[in-house]
A and B are shown apart, each in its own frame.
Chain A
Amino acid sequence: MTRLTRWSAAELAARIHAQDITAVEVTRAHLDRITAVDPALHAFLHLDASAALAAAAAVDDGLRRGEAPASPLAGVPLAIKDVFTTIDMPTTCGSRMLQGWRPPYDATVTRKLRAAGVVIVGKTNMDEFAMGSSTENSAYGPTRNPWDLDRVPGGSGGGSAAAVAAFEVPLAVGTDTGGSIRQPSAVTGTVGVKPTYGGVSRYGLVAFSSSLDQGGPVARTVLDAALLHEVIGGYDPQDSTSIDAPVPPVVQAARAGATGDLIGIRVGVVSQFRGDGYQPGVLRAFEVAVSRLRELGAQIVEVSCPSFDHALPAYYLIAPSECSSNLARFDGMRYGLRVGDDGNRSAEEVMSLTREAGFGPEVKRRIMLGTYALSAGYYDAYYGQAQKVRTLIIRDFAAAFEQVDVLVSPTTPTTAFRIGERVDDPLAMYLSDLCTIPANLAGNAALSVPAGLSDDDGLPVGLQVMAPALADDRAYRVAAAYEVARDGADGGPLAQRVPDLEVVGR
């Protein structure tokens, strides 16, 4: 039964829909796995076994009645990052501020998953309000990396990435504001996709930075990610920034990539993303990946995007600015934590005490940074200037995509770092997002696909593939072709080489 958890979502779905196995069996196997390994990992903040089994049973019942599956993923278990609202489960965003909060509505992503017959098993851990690159900023304790339990699983979506890497679920949903899907995927050996901004509805995604946040899939294979992308993607009239166009044909692209080559595809290597600050093993793994792309027939071109050097500082002005406003609503008046209401203190005092007690240090830091950047007298020098950098980054991408079809880089400069290593050094932590941020600022599609292990520490490395906005399928095609080639060269999928946690234990 345990082996069921090793299968891909596509394989599970095929077997469930053929009624070889039941969705209930599949769900139970994953719940058992979670029971066995999550005490060591802490990927989940909330589990709902009975709701998951009920949802799985409903899929089985439908199939038995001869109904067509609601989607290609009907019956497959999935975990949701605790930043999407769920009417039947708490939504805490990894914050004490929202401990136990049960939203009275489902996010569009949640609603689409339910409608697709996907079995939601629970909510995954994250850096508080998605601010962080290690999941250490969760008010509920860190998640550990299944490759090395002393290391972080990346962040902010470390819970989703760890859960998928450790075979607790075949699929998870994350959100990516500056790399929060791709960077955890890179350091846990999973596939993580940030779709084109506007490709997946943000309705019900608790906002960190509205102009950058984007939900997307986490999986162990490129095809699984594509299948999930098509379930959660698409136009939503409840999100003004949602793109009113069909989801790019990502599943078709993933299948085509897996069976074909890359002849005629021009791949640009971003020259800015190398050099100082990059772990040598990561760079070597990246070079190997690039040569594999060349072997597949891709034409490799060096591309310079000079404004990418300013992406990180621009991001650390825009995201905190928007977050300072987005998180203002957490004041203890209508929902969530309230502190200091002794019947005598004023609303204003209670708000300040509540926010002081409810937010962790990184969230407070960013709120104050954003408050500063938006203040009268500083706006032009900081926020305004950052928005101009954003324009330059969009122009660099546009120029690059005139020369090449996709851009590649390491997903993150290093492999997973040790828990505690960067908590007291915000700037070091921020560098984790160096390569992922430009795609958020420009809004285009980008993904991370496993690129083997770093030869200096044996930990997973991610290859980032960036495509133009609305051309998500291009990134999938390249990643799928690469995935097959790498698996062939390495003698099997990287994900299958994760240490067996039940043996490792803790």
Chain B
Amino acid sequence: MPTISRAEVAHLARLARLAVTEEELDLFASQLEVILTSVARVGEVAAVDIPPTSHAVGLTDVFRADVPRPGLTQQQALSGAYATEDGRFRVPRILDES
């Protein structure tokens, strides 16, 4: 039976970049535990020799020719932006190197 603590929820929220509230921590901790308990049933399937399926269709080797296609103009590219500057997306300061 999986248990999930507030601290774990807080960790998940950090990984997922969600500035959750204190109330949400409690709510999500209890809800995620219920859901995880329910979905943990997938573990009942003894599956040592069963290959996982990542794609529903069995396609392989789908490629594109290396030929340029028209894309967006700079104006179109920036059209949804909250703020722009000099043809670029303007965003708040970045603290870390990637």
Interface residues of A (CB under 8 A from B): 101-105, 197-198, 211-212, 237, 240-241, 243, 307, 310, 313-314, 316-317, 324, 328, 331-336, 338, 341, 343, 345-353, 355-356, 359, 361, 364-365, 367-369, 371-372, 375, 381-382, 384-392, 394, 426-427, 440-443, 469
Contacts and interface: CB of A to CB of B under 8 A. Distances in A.
Given A237-B64, A310-B45, A350 B92 contact: yes
A40 B34 CA distance: 35
Contacts of B51: 388, 391
A196 to B, nearest CB: 8
Given A364-B24, A391-B52, 4 more contacts: A240-B62, A328-B17, A371-B12, A426-B31
A341 to B, nearest CB: 5
B77 A104 contact: yes
Contact of A369 (B18, B36, B53): B36
A406 B87 CA distance: 55
Given A104-B76, A347-B93, A372 B55 contact: no
Interface residues of B, number: 55
A352 B59 contact: no
B42 interface: yes
B82 A389 contact: no
Contacts of B80: 101-104, 334-336
A368 B13 contact: yes
Contacts of A316: 35, 38-39
A352 B13 CA distance: 9
17 contacts: A101-B80, A314-B39, A333-B89, A341-B92, A349-B92, A353-B19, A361-B24, A364-B24, A365-B28, A367-B16, A367-B18, A375-B15, A382-B40, A386-B42, A387-B53, A388-B42, A391-B52
A237 B31 CA distance: 41
B42 A341 contact: no
Nearest to A469: B57
A331 B96 CA distance: 17
Contacts of A386: 39, 42
B17 A372 contact: no
B64 A346 contact: no
B1 interface: no
Nearest to A103: B80
Nearest to A378: B2
